[in-house]
Structure 1
Amino acid sequence: MSLTLEDRLAITELISLHGHFVDDGRLDRLEELFTSDVVYDVTDFGQEPMLGVAAVREAGWALGAANPVAHHVTNIVLTASADGRVQARSKGLGVRADGSCGSVSYDDTVVRTADGWRISHRKISPRRTPLGGLAQT
């Protein structure tokens, strides 16, 4: 499968909208980003994967003031699969209210639905070690 320029722009905007919706407290709009049965994998943070948009929304509200005040996404790379899915890899920066910052990698599976492109699987991995933890040998 080959992605058109329009597909690339739509998927990039989809991934970018996540930070706007979360930072604005618009968790009621998560259906515009995710499939209803999304798997939101946060196992690298010691938590169970969340299943479904409602679980993602509830987790955001439960985190409350501990949520970052700003989510930024960058370095979006898209790879089309023969089955019509798109693998999207991007970097995320989260800024907390105290000014501290954290970095993650997002690994998303994006699918075309009747309502447009949606994320069906997202794995979030914290970036805690320079050079991916690799050392020169």
Structure 2
Amino acid sequence: MDKLSFEDISDIRGVLALFSHVFDNREVGDLHRVFTEDAVIEMTRGAGRVVDGLPAIAEFSLALGPDGPDHQTLDSHVFVDDAGAVRARSRYLAILQDGSVHNGDYLDVLERTTEGWRISRRVSIPRYPKE
């Protein structure tokens, strides 16, 4: 893909925004509206963790429980890279139960599916705290 339409960018930004709502509210039945079935989330904080596939993402969301982080997705930049992959780079803020805040970047790869744009890979890179 060489170029994204305004509609594509709008739809992708909608998917990026929807993540926080369905993930943080543990609306796991709607995670398919955000991620592909075979999506991978890689978290680089601490020892790191990889969550592979939609069922595992749902399990991860539920395991965080009602006191899990409250995510905010900000300043998303959507683009097509040199290889033709559709990507987004967003800032995130994660507010924890104790009021502390973590922030960083989401680096996403997106795919157009029959249901619309979905995240197929997300790498979460913390800025502060770094560990």
Give the TM-score of the pair, scaled to structure 2: 0.89
How many residues were matched structurally?
129
More strand by share: 2
The residue aligned with 1:89 is 89
Q: Is the Cα–Cα contact under 8 Å of residues 85 and 112 in structure 1 kept in the other structure?
A: no
Answer 1 or 2: which has greater helix percent.
Answer: 1
Is 1:113 aligned to residue 116 of structure 2? Answer: no
Show the counterpart of 1:98. Answer: 98
Question: Is the CA contact (8 Å cut-off) linking 2:24 and 2:61 kept in structure 1?
Answer: no
User: In structure 2, how many angstroms separate the alpha carbons of the residues matched to 1:23 and 1:120?
Assistant: 19
Q: Which has the larger radius of gyration?
A: 1
2:116 and 2:66 mapped to 1: Cα distance?
32
**Quick one: structure 1 residues 57 and 24, their matched pair in 2 at CA, closer, same or farther if it must change by over 3 Å?**
same
- Unmatched segments (≥5 aa) in structure 1: 133-137
AA matched with 1:103:
N
Looking at structure 2, the residues matched to 96 and 82 of structure 1 have their Cα atoms a distance apart, in angstroms, of 37
The alpha-carbon deviation at position 62 of structure 1 amounts to 1.5
* Residue 8 of structure 1: aligned partner: 9
Task: After superposition, give the CA deviation of every residue in 1:15-37 in whole Å (9 maximum; x if it has no partner).
Answer: 00001112322122111111100
Aligned-residue CA RMSD in angstroms?
1.8
TM-score if structure 1 supplies the norm length? 0.85
TM-superposed CA distance for 1:45, in Å, is 3.6
- Measure how far apart 1:87 and its partner are: 1.0
